[in-house]
Amino acid sequence: MSARGRYFRRLVAGIFAGVFWMDTAFAQSSEAGCRFEPVAGTSRQILRCQEGLTIIVEDGARFSLVDRDRNGNADAVRLRRKALLLEAPAGGAQGGFVVVTPQAIAAVRGTKWTVDVGQGKTSVFVLRGRVAVQRRASNAGVVLAPGEGVDVEAGTGKLTVKRWPAKRVSALMARLVQ
């Protein structure tokens, strides 16, 4: 394995290590260092957060911001419904940024990706960078590269990384005004 591969595995292990305590010590802030901005000509909004985090919110999305380390800045999101497009710059949230859904946990540092929750599954797709994804009920996970996605359903079973077709990516981006 390359040095870069070993580094990324250690990074992923460190990010996921903090996720397990998050469920029991759920620290949430109403502001979490973010402010809403309207998207011109739509009813959608963009969250702009400290440390350069940007979250584009699909109309009707249900989520909450989480401040795991209680420093006043969002470093996680609990997403329950619909989609978010997230851009987390390298060196942003200390310990990485995490999205927790009913089925999955997606963790990153310095990337742009989407997380979509609906109909009993969570879909994660990477536009830039790398994203580690694991099923909530398991320690096993996968790492996605640009153009790759994974669908995580409840239960146990292997997570299969796939290169998403342009039509699927376009449909998701259209929902997020991209």
Residue of 133, 170, 164 lying closest to 149 (CA atoms) = 164
- Distance from C-alpha of 49 to C-alpha of 69, rounded to nearest angstrom: 15
Q: What is the model's pLDDT at position 40?
A: 76
Model pLDDT for residues 122-142, shown as the tens digit of each residue: 999 999 999 999 998 787 789
CB 67 within 8 A of CB 98: no
Residue of 89, 134, 124 lying closest to 109 (CA atoms) = 89
SS (H, E, C) the chain: CCHHHHHHHHHHHHHHHHHHHHCCCCCCCCCCCEEEEECCCCCCEEEEEHHHCEEEECCCCEEEEECCCCCCCCCEEEEEEEEEEEEECCCCCCCCEEEECCCEEEEECCEEEEEEEECCEEEEEEEECCEEEEECCCCCEEEECCCEEEEEECCCCCCCCEECCHHHHHHHHHHCCC
CB 77 within 8 A of CB 93: no
CB 99 within 8 A of CB 63: no
Model pLDDT for residues 93-102, shown as the tens digit of each residue: 556 789 999 9
Model pLDDT for residues 140-171, shown as the tens digit of each residue: 789 999 999 999 998 777 899 999 999 999 99
| Domains along the sequence of the chain with CATH | 3-175 (2.60.120.1440)
Q: What is the pTM of this model?
A: 0.79
